[in-house]
Amino acid sequence: MTIKRITAKEKFKTIAQGWKIQYFSDNDMKWYPQKLAAGESAETIYNLLLFARTPKKVDEIIGNESWTQEFCQECRNYSKDVLEFTDEDNKHIYTVCISCIKKSLINL
């Protein structure tokens, strides 16, 4: 088992790459044409993300916080600070927010 902490502070640095993987077609060598939630094209958002220096700025550019958060499987909320537990085969990944981790330690 490996345990990795994922914070928005670290995560936002790779969001532009992740965005390109999701919205750029390597087959056609083109950006997907649809306008996104923020009302901009995927390419425009990508170009802005390249210069984003904080998670807050990433959220503003994209128009929501979905790219800087992880889902906590304990409280079922989104969080900007989680621990990710992965088994040896990389088959099972379990994500728990720091708030839930703290609560569980208090109850010991």
CA gyration radius for the chain?
16
Query: Considering beta carbons, is residue 74 or 84 the nearer one to Zn ion?
Result: 74
**Chosen residue from 38, 74, 83, 98 binding Zn ion by CB under 5 A:** 74
DSSP string, the chain: -EEEEEEHHHHGGGHHHHHHHHHEETTTTEE---B-TTSSBHHHHHHHHTT--SHHHHHHHHTSSTTT-EE-TTT--EESEEEEEE-TTS--EEEEEHHHHHHHHHT-
Query: Considering beta carbons, is residue 60 or 74 the nearer one to Zn ion?
Result: 74
Q: Is 82 in the site for Zn ion (CB under 5 A)?
A: no
Q: Is 61 in the site for Zn ion (CB under 5 A)?
A: no
- Find the shortest distance in angstroms from Cβ 82 to Zn ion: 8
**Chosen residue from 75, 92, 93, 103 binding Zn ion by CB under 5 A:** 75
**Chosen residue from 70, 72, 80, 81 binding Zn ion by CB under 5 A:** 72
Residue ranges in contact with Zn ion by CB under 5 A:
72, 74-75, 97, 100
